[in-house]
Structure 1
């Protein structure tokens, strides 16, 4: 049975709400992993897992527990690369699928931007999550869940 694992510390509230509704509607176990308490709705299919604080502790827990065929919700490219190696699927909160064909390129871009920031360049962050991003995420999640259920 597939589980949805959510890298919840940085996941936008609007995306969590979409996940909550989808989990209950499709009866899909969904686990939010974070290093702080997470509020989840009363329901049978959504729960949270609090891990100790520390760099990448939540990511490491997702990697440890995820199994082939699970869906991982994250915008963390190194986490995505690790779970893709375990044959998990990755959907970003912006509705982008990450897989073996594109995750290495995204990892290279991320590493390049880290190098630029370390040298003092102001690269800015990603734009705020917009309505089109939320809709893209919801559409791709719904399509995937309909196909797998």
Structure 2
């Protein structure tokens, strides 16, 4: 695995909650880890030598493809996008959802199957509702997994 100086964090920033970005921004300075946000709309970042932003054109999976193209084995990608998480794992990096769910080789295929199944259900007209609001437990779970990633690198 990469050491902490070379491992970096990529954020699928179009859908990442503000509370999670704030946790990551603080961690960047505290750990001196490079964090790059990738989104198809402009973002305001606090001043930090460890934060950068890549704006990509709007389009299906454009941000995801940019992250996959640039990430290295050992990096961390923060995303709730299951297909992106699958590609991240395939490249030897770690994928963590903003709710603190760690995606790995043991669970990603079942997550992909469930996602595809839910897409079929929704396309047939069934209302499935959206995700619940980010809870304090979600934030804590995310922070705990983030700390474990830092400790392993």
Tell me if TM exceeds 0.5.
Answer: yes
- Segments of structure 2 that go 5 or more residues without pairing to the other structure are 1-5
How many residue pairs were aligned? 148
Instruction: Name the CA distance, whole Å, in 2 between partners of 1:35 and 1:16.
Output: 16
Match of 2:108 in 1: 103
Structure 1 residue runs of 4 or more that deviate by more than 2 Å after TM superposition: none
1:15 aligns with 2:40: no
Match of 2:72 in 1: 67
Equivalent residue runs for 1:28-107 within 5 Å: 28-107=33-112
SS in 2 for 1:47: strand
Shift of 1:143: 2.5
Shift of 1:137: 0.6
- Tell me the TM-score normalized by structure 1: 0.97
1:144 aligns with 2:149: yes
- Tell me the TM-score normalized by structure 2: 0.94
Shift of 1:144: 1.8
1:131 to 113, 119, 136: 136
Q: After superposition, what is the alpha-carbon deviation per residue over 1:5-63, rounded to whole angstroms, capped at 9, x for unaligned?
A: 00000000000000000011000000000001111110110111101111110001001
SS in 1 for 2:112: helix
- Segments of structure 1 that go 5 or more residues without pairing to the other structure are none
